[in-house]
Chains A and B, each alone.
Chain A
Amino acid sequence: MVEGKIFLKTPGETVYLALIRKVIAEIAKRVGFPEEEVARIEMAVDEACTNVIEHSYRTEDEMGTGYEWRREDEVDRPVELRVKINREKISISLTDRGRGFDPSQVEPDLEKYLASVSMGSLGIYVIKTFMDEVRYSHEPAAGNVLRMVKYFKT
């Protein structure tokens, strides 16, 4: 088992999601998660980063009028992933400086999402289904932090 910390920072743009998935999947694979678990961790992180890019970093104006990005602001919209690995788990913290999203009130219930008009919250359903622990916090200095943990099965 490899122990350590890894930091990955990308601009908050969807084009970087493929890179983020590759890095996260490679780390999960190398530290010993089976393929099935690697795929779940990869998807949970992709969904979390997508939520940041498409929801947390979208301004009130963008939310109201559709899907226009303020390109000039993207330098201020980073996606930051901190990965920590120890003997029992992988912890992935995703930090953003946008409006944030708190998944704590959302129960993993597919039926509810399928019945709803908006499919946006499906991502939170995925994160909560695939990770063992999901915790959200907001700190004025640090920003919004979503911490996702997956334990090695013994």
Chain B
Amino acid sequence: MIGCEISTRTFDLGTRIVQVVDVSGFLDAHTSSQLENTLNSLVEAGDYNLILDLKGLDYINSASLGLLMGIAKRVRPQGGDIRLVNLSEKINKIISVLGFSKVLKLFDQTKEALTSFK
């Protein structure tokens, strides 16, 4: 795969609507604007409950991690959050070593992350 692919799924939990953003490929300076546009559009539309499903993501750069921090800062005061699922061992370790896992909530599976929003 060249670049990254992003798609969105909507889950109605009854009390909340959660948007799951599936990202695969890689997020670097060439592709991260795609994720930025997707997340900004969701937040601007009032979607504050977000799950980023990173199954199939091979690489994430610091600007993308910074973007996720920025989104978290915007949606948390609205009662929402951005939660990450399906991280590869490689990305999980990178995020942990850099300290982002202290601020961003990580889950093994989408189902768990969805339940956490209830």
Contact = CB atoms under 8 A, between A and B. Distances in A.
B32 to A, nearest CB: 9
A126 B62 contact: yes
Nearest to A127: B62
A129 B28 contact: no
Query: Do most interface residues of chain A lie in helix, strand or loop, or is the interface mixed?
Result: helix
Contacts of A47: 61-62
Chain B CB within 10 A, most for which of A18, A42, A130:
A18
A46 interface: yes
A14 B30 contact: yes
A67 to B, nearest CB: 9
A120 B70 CA distance: 13
A67 B22 CA distance: 27
A75 interface: no
A145 interface: no
Contact of B63 (A50, A129, A130): A50
Contacts of A18: 2, 26, 28, 30
B77 interface: no
Contacts of A125: 62, 98
B94 A122 contact: no
Contacts of B28: 14, 17-18, 21, 46, 50
Interface string A91-129: 000000000000000000010011000011011011001
Nearest to B73: A114
A113 B63 CA distance: 11
23 contacts: A14-B28, A17-B28, A17-B29, A17-B30, A18-B30, A21-B26, A21-B59, A35-B90, A36-B90, A39-B93, A43-B59, A43-B61, A50-B29, A50-B63, A114-B69, A119-B63, A122-B62, A122-B63, A122-B65, A123-B62, A125-B98, A126-B62, A130-B97
Given A18-B26, A39-B90, 11 more contacts: A17-B29, A17-B30, A42-B59, A54-B29, A114-B103, A119-B63, A119-B67, A120-B63, A122-B63, A122-B66, A123-B63
Interface of A: 14-15, 17-18, 21, 35-36, 39-40, 42-43, 46-47, 50, 53-54, 110, 113-114, 119-120, 122-123, 125-126, 129-130
